[in-house]
Amino acid sequence: MTYYEPRRMRFGAFIAPYHGLNENPTLALERDFQLVELLDRLDYDEAWVGEHHSAGFEIIGSPEVFIAGAAERTRRIRLGTGVNSVTYHHPMILADRLVQLDHQTRGRLMCGFGPGQLPSDAVMLGIDPAEQRDMMSDALQCIVDLLDGKQVSRDASWFKLVNAQLHVLPYQSPRMDMAVACSMTPNGPMTAGRHGLGMLSLAASLGAGFDMLPNHWELYEAQSKAHGHVASRDAWRVVVPMHLAETREAAERQVESGIDENVLTYLRGVGAPGLQDVSPKDAVRVWREQGLLTFGRILVGTPDDAIERIRSLQAQSGGFGCFLFLALNAADWVSTQRSYELFARHVMPKFQNSDRRREALEWCGTNMAKARPRIAAGIERAVARDPRRKAGDSTER
């Protein structure tokens, strides 16, 4: 099957983050910073940071504040809000904050938008979760127009803008890299296409989410065309949970060691059924074969397994521009770092078309045999020009 392959695929991590309740939240945030620093050193391209306000596990309430700190500790990696919960913010205030952050990071900012993932966040803010997608639609057009330098007036049900305009425009031109969170419903790809933004597919690893990838592209492409935009597969990002080790057995043991505290505790707490008495080994099996709700369907294996999974996603979707880890803490920190390193060393080069060393070695093996006689002739000619050799020949005569 043929599919779109970028000249250089981008790689990164989507950092919700998920932290178990048994550790110091201050140090958990520090480890998130260390993860972004590690990704930067290992030549990953992107890190996306979530916004959540309840349920105890996803403890970053402001991705902008986190990104401002991470930008000072990194050199080149691009940093995205993954995602801003649009319905929790006045659109002009959010747009203004993003512009400031774009300048502070010297253009390394990416912006992700969604209605808000956790119903508990919305309930605490007095927002009806059933209304959030419509609320986001009202606000997102205003945010995009403001970032594009337009003057905006809008009297929506939950905010008002009167001849509003930004007094500083983004650092990046012509536009910041922006994406819309997409999961199971058609709302995400249709919204992204309508506004000319990229797609951020958070449910790509789940059975239903995986099956919907072709349909999501069709919706995105149709909406893009209808609203005068060009649909770009390079702007499509897919998110998959993954943990790698040198062997599958080692990877499974590492995930089993922390799955109860760092994954199952959360799922039980939010009411996921069927997980009360499951063992860590069985939980990993279920996670790998069927998926675990917001944690998707994990790949636990080796770099070769990761290559195969990415190829499968390419074939199913028709191609995309960026692959993102769903950042996890099921394995211990040392093993997690090693997982990202194995991926960077052995998986990323397979999709980036810059490593031609093997071909270069094969070329030498094929062509050096032809060159050896001329190399020998050159050596003989150089030796013959040695004046000491000529002097010795004269003396002997």
- Digit-coded pLDDT (tens) for 232-258: 999 999 999 999 999 999 999 999 999
On whether both 64 and 143 belong to a single domain, the answer is yes
On whether both 236 and 147 belong to a single domain, the answer is yes
All residues at 6 or more sequence positions from 289 whose CB lies less than 8 Å from its CB, including other chains: 297
CATH for 283: 3.20.20.30
Residue-wise pLDDT tens digits, 132-154: 999 999 999 999 999 999 999 99
In a domain, 1, yes or no: no
Tokens of 150: 């337009």
In a domain, 184, yes or no: yes
In a domain, 276, yes or no: yes
Confidence of residue 389 (pLDDT cuts 50, 70, 90): confident
On whether both 238 and 376 belong to a single domain, the answer is no
Residue-wise pLDDT tens digits, 166-187: 999 999 999 999 999 999 999 9
pTM to 2 decimal places:
0.94
Q: What number is the average pLDDT over the span 308-318?
A: 98
* Residue 264 structural domain: 10-351
Asked whether the beta carbons of 14 and 202 are under 8 A apart, the reply is yes
On whether both 328 and 222 belong to a single domain, the answer is yes
How distant, in Å, are the alpha carbons of 212, 298, 314 from that of 289? Answer: 18, 8, 19
pLDDT of the residue at 390: 62
On whether both 155 and 200 belong to a single domain, the answer is yes
On whether both 125 and 14 belong to a single domain, the answer is yes
On whether both 383 and 248 belong to a single domain, the answer is no
The domain total for the chain is: 2
On whether both 308 and 388 belong to a single domain, the answer is no
Residue-wise pLDDT tens digits, 11-21: 999 999 999 99
Residue-wise pLDDT tens digits, 94-114: 999 999 999 999 999 999 999
On whether both 375 and 324 belong to a single domain, the answer is no
Mean of per-residue pLDDT scores for the chain: 96
Confidence of residue 388 (pLDDT cuts 50, 70, 90): confident
- pLDDT at residue 1 is higher than 80: no
On whether both 178 and 316 belong to a single domain, the answer is yes
On whether both 371 and 294 belong to a single domain, the answer is no
- pLDDT at residue 10 is higher than 60: yes
Confidence of residue 369 (pLDDT cuts 50, 70, 90): confident
- pLDDT at residue 396 is higher than 80: no
CA distance 220 to 226: 10
CA distance 50 to 291: 21
On whether both 384 and 240 belong to a single domain, the answer is no
In a domain, 136, yes or no: yes
